[in-house]
Amino acid sequence: MGRVDGMVALVTGSSRGIGRAIAIALAEEGADVAVNFFNSEKAAKEVAQAIHDVGRKALLIRADASKVTEIKHMVRKTVEHFGRIDILVNNAGGGNYQNFEDISESEYDEILDLHLKGPFFTAQAAAPYMRAQGRGRIINIGSELAYIGYPELIHYTAAKGGVLTLTKSLALALAPTINVNTVSPGPIATETFMAGPEFVDEIRDQIPLKRWGRPDDVARTVVFLASSDGDFFTGQTLDPNGGTVMP
């Protein structure tokens, strides 16, 4: 019996990287999963197949997780298909390394819409269903950079800093029925991170645990919070980061 057996999860941005690992880990622990994607349909279908392979159901939903009308559609479609929603993981993200001087207003807005506005409105859309069920879990994916900043990711780090406070406020607003927490990963060896300037041996060797994180390191943390093991956690941030930041 899995730790989230019989539950339904919606994982935004779950066609690749950390989101992919989270969706599959939840399925392995017994959940049916709505797999959200925007561009990567082929990759999303592969995630759905992996979920089917462990005996759970998957639903593919194309939606832009930064657009409120599409967010509402995504949540409604999840509930219409599965009959409920127990776990929401706000994982959708992205962004480019940019110099401070080069960030335009539209680029700034795009990052904040995806990383900060999107999680708020997805939580707002899912909360009524969770309250009606008498239980729910909302897990926001943050970043260790919210604690320390990064000069070429100013808009991204600003958004992730907002996620930490958003989580605390949502936890207070939705208690006692819905637990809301953040998972803030450190350097995880995803395709995006490996293409960035920090993916060098010198940085890896400065990590106390002497390795890059893996998407599964984040996924297992999410499963913990989603399950009954996380019953007494709300408004908290867990940091699978190998010791790179100790807030």
Of the candidates 86, 32, 36, the one whose C-alpha atom is nearest the C-alpha of residue 56 is 32
Per the rule left: phi > 0, alpha: psi between -120 and 50, beta: everything else, 134 is left
Residues marked as catalytic? 156
Residue for token digits 């990052």? Answer: 111
d(CA 159, CA 144) in angstroms, rounded, equals 12
CA 154 vs CA 8, 98, 145, 191, 209: distances in Å = 35, 8, 10, 21, 27
Q: Which residues pair with 35 in a beta bridge?
A: 11, 60
DSSP 188: B
The three-state secondary structure class of 78 is: helix
Sign of CA dihedral 102, 105, 107, 109: positive
131 Rama sector, left if φ>0, alpha if ψ -120 to 50, beta otherwise:
alpha
